[in-house]
Amino acid sequence: MGNLSKRTAQRLVKCYYLAREARALGVEFITSSKVALLLGVDETQIRKDMASVNLEGVPRKGYPVEEIINRLEDVFGLRKDRNAVLVGTGNLGRALLNYPGFSRYGVRIVGAFDKDPQKYGREVGGVWVYPVGELKEKAKDLEACLGIIAVPPREAQGVADVLVEAGVEGIWNFSPALIRVPARIALRNECLESGLVMLLHEMEVMKKSLAGD
């Protein structure tokens, strides 16, 4: 299997969720038309997406739910164990440390970092908090391949630079700052404010189209 396009990957992530929901409900097969309906996309698109990861439906039954889950866990590399470090233990950082969902994907946050002496030297969500000055050294020691940034925007680039020096392969940036990393590093910006702006824009568009503009 080659590289998936971002769009295809995004749809397949949703298929993966659906399949897990279906399995939890005891459902064994799911049709492409059902998937298409639930995701709000075209049925042929779903068939193409499934085919791109070598998933084939059984006539009159649909795709085997268990097979979707297994195949996509392989494709997305969800069965590997990965260590992550988190920088910034403010409200958002603490929410992420307490978030139970990540371990399901093999990701374990093994260390947290903060610049505030009142915050380090103790545990948050079962994770030890270290001084941010020790980030490079400790991230290496902890064999972190993923860095999570939850610091204020002004500090984000500096933290990203240290994480790259420490040898992480991916950075998950929750600050609204646009950070720059070498091309070999996977970067995902999870900026909540930009999510909000997109939603507000959609609300404006909907309002106008309902008003008949």
- Name the residues that contact a copy of itself, by CB under 8 A: 3-4, 6, 9-10, 13-14, 16-18, 21, 38-39, 75-78, 82, 91-92, 94-96, 98-99, 101-102, 104-105, 107, 145-146, 169-170, 172, 176-178, 180, 184-188, 190-210
Q: How far is the CB of 169 from a copy of itself (least distance, A)?
A: 5
Dig out the tokens for 88 from the structure: 């910034």
Between residues 21 and 66, which has the closer beta carbon with respect to a copy of itself? 21
Between residues 58 and 200, which has the closer beta carbon with respect to a copy of itself? 200
Between residues 60 and 104, which has the closer beta carbon with respect to a copy of itself? 104
Between residues 59 and 119, which has the closer beta carbon with respect to a copy of itself? 119
Q: How far is the CB of 118 from a copy of itself (least distance, A)?
A: 17
Between residues 57 and 125, which has the closer beta carbon with respect to a copy of itself? 125
Q: How far is the CB of 136 from a copy of itself (least distance, A)?
A: 20
Q: How far is the CB of 120 from a copy of itself (least distance, A)?
A: 20
Q: How far is the CB of 161 from a copy of itself (least distance, A)?
A: 16
Q: How far is the CB of 66 from a copy of itself (least distance, A)?
A: 18
Task: Kindly compute the dihedral angle of the four CA atoms of residues 37, 39, 42, 48, in this order, to the nearest 10 degrees.
Answer: -120
Between residues 55 and 177, which has the closer beta carbon with respect to a copy of itself? 177
Q: If DSSP states are collapsed to H, E and C, what string results for the chain?
A: CCCCCHHHHHHHHHHHHHHHHHHHCCCCEECHHHHHHHHCCCHHHHHHHHHHCCCCCECCCEEEHHHHHHHHHHHCCCCCCEEEEEECCCHHHHHHHCCCHHHHHCEEEEEEEECCCCCCCCEECCEEEEEHHHHHHHHHHCCEEEEEECCCHHHHHHHHHHHHHCCCCEEEECCCCCCCCCCCCEEEECCHHHHHHHHHHHHHHHHHHHCCC
Cα(82)–Cα(133) distance, integer angstroms:
23
